[in-house]
């Protein structure tokens, strides 16, 4: 069921999550879930919880998602690299969304998580997240952290918001870049599911992407990429805006490639302090076989060097 709400004079002075909770007589957690599921739109664009709106703005709310339940799906693969009483470190395959956005959706990492760990539905305020502390794009593979309980979740989310989590990616782009550098153009929403670099727009979000050129073969550049901030599609939008889109990027790049069956972007490394023990945690995951095959086809020496190092 969808409901249209016109923002009142009182609502114009409040954050939208606070206003909607009052206007719809729903809990703040339910409103947060609706916002996380992109179930609140204004002019076709998803609304975030911290936004404010002018009086008279028209919001469309999909209430069918308010009581959505996370359905376990034991048929999905779940690659667990680390497990203790506080955390899970996972290696997400490509083509798997992190959590569902529709009531009937069951093909997500969160569905796989609750199939093996049923208590994950209570690990975060939004049960649809199954305790996942951050996200990767559906097409991106690699390392993710899930909290096992609310305390660990709060600690990890605070660490992410304070930029205390080290994240590194492998990416293969098409285009010329210097040996190293930082891409720092602010990003703003374009349409419902894309971001663009827009340094002059005051509403654009600050974003910082550091890269280092590992190896180049003709027009293809293998990059080690570190992100300081965590804006959606940050790496993809930044590289594309600088004329070096990732190989296989259908949204920001040249589309499907005969060389690569998917987006060439893999989250390979995570470092952080354990939320309970405060020990230094370090995880590094291998490049997936289909991406290794791309580098082998292009005759990159990177794989042989990595094998020698290990």
Catalytic residue IDs: 137
Q: Could you identify the residue written with the tokens 């093996």?
A: 116
Residue 300, token pair as written in the block: 């990159």
Under 8 Å CB-to-CB from 121, ≥6 apart: which residues?
A: 70, 114, 127, 130
Length of the chain measured in residues: 310
Structure tokens at 160: 């992410």
Q: What is the DSSP string of 70-137?
A: PPP-TTS---EEEE-SSEEEEEEPTT--SS-SSTT---SHHHHHHHH-GGGGGSSSSGGGTTB-S---
- Per the CB < 8 A criterion, the answer to whether 284 and 268 are in contact is yes
């Amino acid at each position: 069921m969808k409901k249209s709400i016109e923002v009142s004079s009182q609502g114009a002075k409040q954050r939208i999550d606070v206003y909607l909770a009052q206007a719809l007589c729903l809990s703040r957690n339910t409103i947060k879930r609706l916002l996380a599921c992109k179930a609140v739109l204004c002019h076709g664009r998803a609304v975030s919880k911290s936004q404010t709106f002018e009086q008279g703005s028209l919001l469309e709310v999909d209430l069918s998602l308010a009581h959505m339940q996370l359905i376990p799906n034991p048929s999905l693969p779940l690659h667990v690299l680390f497990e203790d009483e506080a955390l899970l470190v996972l290696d997400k395959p490509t083509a798997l969304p992190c959590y569902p956005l529709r009531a009937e959706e069951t093909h997500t990492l969160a569905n796989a998580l609750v199939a093996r760990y049923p208590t994950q539905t209570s690990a975060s305020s939004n049960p649809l997240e199954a305790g996942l502390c951050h996200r990767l794009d559906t097409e991106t593979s690699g390392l993710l952290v899930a909290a096992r309980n609310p305390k660990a979740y709060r600690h990890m989310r605070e660490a992410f918001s304070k930029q205390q989590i080290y994240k590194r990616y492998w990416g293969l782009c098409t285009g010329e870049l210097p040996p190293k550098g930082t891409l720092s153009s602010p990003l703003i929403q374009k349409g419902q599911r894309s971001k663009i670099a827009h340094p002059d727009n005051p509403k654009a979000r600050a974003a910082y992407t550091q890269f280092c050129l590992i190896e180049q073969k003709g027009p293809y550049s293998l990059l080690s990429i570190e992100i300081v901030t965590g804006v959606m599609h940050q790496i993809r939008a930044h590289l594309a805006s600088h004329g070096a889109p990732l190989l296989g990027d259908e949204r920001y790049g040249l589309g499907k490639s005969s060389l690569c069956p998917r987006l060439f972007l893999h989250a390979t490394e995570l470092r952080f302090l354990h939320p309970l023990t405060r020990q230094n945690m370090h995880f590094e995951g291998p490049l997936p076989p289909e991406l290794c095959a791309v580098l082998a086809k292009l005759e990159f020496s990177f794989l042989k060097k990595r094998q020698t190092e290990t």
